[in-house]
Amino acid sequence: MRRLLGIAIAAALLIPAGVAYAAPNDGVPSWARSTNLYEVNVRQYSANSKFTSVTKDLPRLKKMGVNTLWLMPFQPIGKVRKLGSLGSPYSISNYRAVNPEYGTAADFKALVKATHAQGMHIIIDWVANHTAWDHSWITKNPEWYTQVNGNIVIPPGTNWNDVADLNYDNQDMRKAMISAMKYWVKYFDIDGFRCDAAGMVPADFWEEATTELAKSKKLFMLAEDGSSTNLLENAFTANYNWSLKPALKSLTQGTGSSAALYNLIQTQSYTYPKGSYPLNFITNHDENSWTSTVQADYGKSENAMAVLTYTLPGMPLLYNGQEVGLDKQLQFFEKDPIDWASYKYSGKSRVALYTALNSIKLNNPALWAGPTGGKIDFLETDNYEVMAFVRTRGTNRVLTVINLTDSKQVVTVPTTAGTYYSLGATKPTKISKSLKLTVSARGYAVYSSKR
């Protein structure tokens, strides 16, 4: 199937501007264009599950090049209909409080302050679609919930028995929800929200919320959604690139092709609204806990697929533990902390890889997200088993080469002559108008104008 590459490349070369996104949205904070996102599962991040452990670890993350943290929900968890011994972080009983399991409000404020002191940003998870069954709204304002025959119900079409579905036809509930979101911006100075099940909440609510929140500061808004592009029109900056993950898996399994990947990127360039972009990932907390590990998903192609999440259009996501080779599925309703020490000398570490990728993402505008990033052109090489593309913005260029096979491949890639840095290298390399490479099995090569 990879022989289809020539057709896609020919089509690509007929588009002089390559695949690019539209002009930026003024409501998006400038830092969100060049950032990478690191997801923190606070419960499993450390043995004590405390904010203080995350705060203590900030220098390590900063050294690795992480510049934005996303914290999974840390509000109190409902006890009624609780799942497992600890319950789901997404079953919230109080939007304006902190779960003692993680520490205090003062501990969280200290984490935000320390994050900002490191020159980093922090966004929090927001669960607007439902609450726990023992949230005070249940008894005080039952009309704020979806009811069938007078009974409050779980979110339709789900088996989420631990949560009650909110009624977005109720304007008072909407106001209370926005007020709760503003609380964390006003009193804790967070930098944005990752909004859970965003597509299950009306788009006009998110637009109203975004407008109100923007009165305090420009925020980064991420939707856990991959189908409702209308959410990106006036509310969210980015959404989940759910289409990319199966495309990457198919590449590792030999059923995908460069042509299919090119077509996906091209389609997204047309369908994403002005100023918005996708979040790229090979795993996250849901994928890890409910689906599989990255090792099971990608095998020996894990690192190469991670490279693609950084060099294809969009924003990259790194899930805690991914950088050390986390090879287990973390439990969702129980305490199951990452054993960081066991990975330290395991030989599974990818810290050097992600440090290098974070560096080139930050320093090369060609890789920035959305309209501030560069166009992408897939290249026709002399070896159809190897995929190659270049991102370009002005004089800045980043070349990515991926070996899609289980054997070493030799390939000649057409390039623009200049000085480049191989991924992770400290000294530049001069390259002519073509680059001959030997790429290891399931391997990759990345060359960038800046380190």
**CB 31, CB 219: distance < 8 Å:** no
**CB 152, CB 120: distance < 8 Å:** no
Domains for the chain: give ranges and CATH numbers. 27-374 (3.20.20.80)
Backbone phi and psi for residue 289, each to the nearest 5 degrees, phi listed first = -75, -35
Output 8-16 pairs: Cβ under 8 A, ≥24 positions apart.
8/257, 8/258, 8/259, 8/262, 8/263, 8/378, 9/258, 9/262, 9/378, 9/379, 9/380, 10/380, 11/262, 12/262, 12/377, 12/378, 13/377, 13/380
Cα distance between residue 157 and residue 17, in whole Å? 43
Cα distance between residue 102 and residue 120, in whole Å? 21
DSSP H helices, 3-104, are: 5-13, 42-45, 51-63
Strands (E), 224-361: 238-240, 277-280, 315-319
Q: Across the beta sheet with 386-393, what order do the strands follow?
A: 375-378, 386-393, 396-403, 444-448, 418-422, 429-431
In a 13 Å sphere around the CA of 166, the CA atoms on its Cβ side amount to 27
- pLDDT tens for the chain, 451 residues: list them: 222 233 233 333 333 334 444 334 457 899 999 999 999 999 999 999 999 999 999 999 999 999 999 999 999 999 999 999 999 999 999 999 999 999 999 999 999 999 999 999 999 999 999 999 999 999 999 999 999 999 999 999 999 999 999 999 999 999 999 999 999 999 999 999 999 999 999 999 999 999 999 999 999 999 999 988 899 999 999 999 999 999 999 999 989 888 999 999 999 999 999 899 999 999 999 999 999 999 999 999 999 999 999 999 999 999 999 999 999 999 999 999 999 999 988 999 999 999 999 999 999 999 999 999 999 999 999 999 999 999 999 999 999 999 999 999 999 999 999 999 999 999 999 999 999 999 999 999 999 999 9
Tell the residue number behind the tokens 């637009």, with chain if given. 207
Backbone phi and psi for residue 318, each to the nearest 5 degrees, phi listed first = -125, 125
Query: Is 87 strand, coil or helix?
Result: coil
Q: What is the pTM of this model?
A: 0.94
Query: Which one, of 409, 405, 407, 416, lies nearest residue 447 by Cα?
Result: 416
Other Cβ atoms closer than 10 A to 100: 8
